[in-house]
Structure 1
């Protein structure tokens, strides 16, 4: 197992700047943000232009990572968007960019591409699952032909649903089993399970062999506030920030409620040999690059003692 980080938390820095800092901080790998270079979607970061990537640029990227001791390729390419977007044109663009990420991963020698299932909020879960089966079949085939695994993060993406219900149909072990039947894999993140009421360690243990890559994000719960809102969170005035439930917030590992000793031990017990990649979305240690760096340092100090050097 290696300890890495997702570059999306530093959207204004270049990949070279991030690589240099990550190496100094002790990280061993980079999960590289690969959203389209232009766009106004939330969480957008672009540290690799996958659309224009050719073999020469891929070789330059590999050389950059090797120069900083961050492996011979990104641990994964990250493009987390709604593959079931209700607008058909936007859906087609998202699906096409996932395909471009798969092609780029093959050029780089990167084993995985991360994305979301997503959801059309105007259709039932059953209808969405049938749509996803059609959409992902050619993407899974494309990935397999190029020696790449398509991995899905179990983020709930409640802000994508107008009423705060799950906007990414990958939030539970029941849905993981459905994903696996399509040839998809899991990019495991324990934080999302905690607020869903699922024990992340119990959920993780049976599926480690379907997890080629994992993310490390923590979560801090405020159960007294949940007594006011219930599980779905704030209902009145939520339009201003659909991702704020009011009773929990993401933290960097070590500052929340995830038991990282048990998570890492369970990964080891299941034979996990991939990268555990820190995903920094902590509002306390966010807002400036210096604070983001501090948050990443806290995460490193928390996780490094748990991972065999």
Structure 2
């Protein structure tokens, strides 16, 4: 098992700045953010222009990572592959294919994304659409020796009422994804607030989890009593502010990391455990984000066998 982090938490930095920092702070791998560059990195990070990557560019990227002894564990392009606007859905699919091409060129084994959802349709209706539009993406990846890994983030902010916006949030839906050829980029933080035991949910599926994310969640049952499970409604100005839980870096929330890592080992996991830093306490500035990554490292490194 290797310890890494998702580069999206440092959107203002370049790979040339992130890779040496990761190496100096004892991280083994990076899950590289590959959203399209839009000129603004405030919300989505673009640390590698996969659409423009050619052989020369790939050699430069390899040299950078090899110089510092760091690996690329996966590419990260988490978007809505069931977007209700078919034109936008096609754009997302096209960029996902460019991710797959770049991964094949660089020898990166995994590309991470979401299933997504059309919020105007029921779950069953979305699954019917997914059964038609998603397998060609899996086939495209498989033909190039790449696996598509789906993070089980709920993406409640994508739904107007805070309901699941990514149909990958439960083991029941994981099994549907697996039937299409996807793999799981397991993240226990989302299971915590859904009331799903992250260890028991993990145990049967480790063989379908080649990559995992390390994010914690801090729950506030008293606030849940006020707002209910789905979170704030009248007081919800930010679609992501549910009011009764928040993400934290590993060690500052309620996830039992010793049990999670032990279960991964027991199931034969040999991939990367990648810190996804979305902690509001250790966020807002480059200095704070880096300190949060150091806190996560202090929590997780002692659990990972050298």
TM-score by length of 1: 0.97
Aligned to 1:76: 74
Aligned equivalents of 1:219, 1:42: Cα separation in 2:
23
- The counterpart of 1:119, out of the listed 109, 117, 131, is 117
Aligned to 2:59: 59
Aligned to 1:250: 247
Report Cα offsets for 1:235-294 as digits up to 9, x if no partner. Answer: 1142x2101100000000000000000000000000000000000000000000000000
Give yes or no for the alignment of 1:197 onto 2:195: yes
Instruction: Note the C-alpha offset of 1:219.
Output: 0.5
Aligned equivalents of 2:286, 2:45: Cα separation in 1:
14
C-alpha spacing 1:151/1:43, structure 2 compared with 1 (3 Å): farther
Report matched runs for 1:70-109 at 5 Å. Answer: 70-71=70-71, 74-109=72-107
Contact 2:12–2:41 (8 Å) recurs in 1:
no
Report matched runs for 1:25-40 at 5 Å. Answer: 25-38=25-38
Report matched runs for 1:145-294 at 5 Å. Answer: 145-238=143-236, 240-294=237-291
C-alpha spacing 1:43/1:225, structure 2 compared with 1 (3 Å): same
Aligned equivalents of 1:161, 1:129: Cα separation in 2:
16
How many pairs align?
306
Aligned to 2:300: 303
Q: Where in structure 2 are there 5+ consecutive unaligned residues?
A: none
Instruction: Note the C-alpha offset of 1:91.
Output: 1.0
Instruction: Note the C-alpha offset of 1:62.
Output: 1.2
Aligned equivalents of 1:216, 1:254: Cα separation in 2:
10
Report Cα offsets for 1:137-160 as digits up to 9, x if no partner. Answer: 111001111000000000000000
Instruction: Note the C-alpha offset of 1:55.
Output: 1.6
**Does 91-100 or 159-168 show the bigger shift?**
91-100
Q: Where in structure 1 are there 5+ consecutive unaligned residues?
A: none
Aligned equivalents of 1:2, 1:226: Cα separation in 2:
36
TM-score by length of 2: 0.98
Aligned equivalents of 1:138, 1:43: Cα separation in 2:
29
Aligned equivalents of 2:122, 2:164: Cα separation in 1:
12
SS in 2 for 1:80: coil
C-alpha spacing 1:273/1:69, structure 2 compared with 1 (3 Å): same
Aligned equivalents of 1:43, 1:308: Cα separation in 2:
34
Instruction: Note the C-alpha offset of 1:42.
Output: 7.8
Instruction: Note the C-alpha offset of 1:39.
Output: 6.7
Aligned equivalents of 2:224, 2:39: Cα separation in 1:
34
C-alpha spacing 1:132/1:281, structure 2 compared with 1 (3 Å): same
Computed over aligned residues only, the root mean square deviation of the Cα atoms, in angstroms, reads 1.1
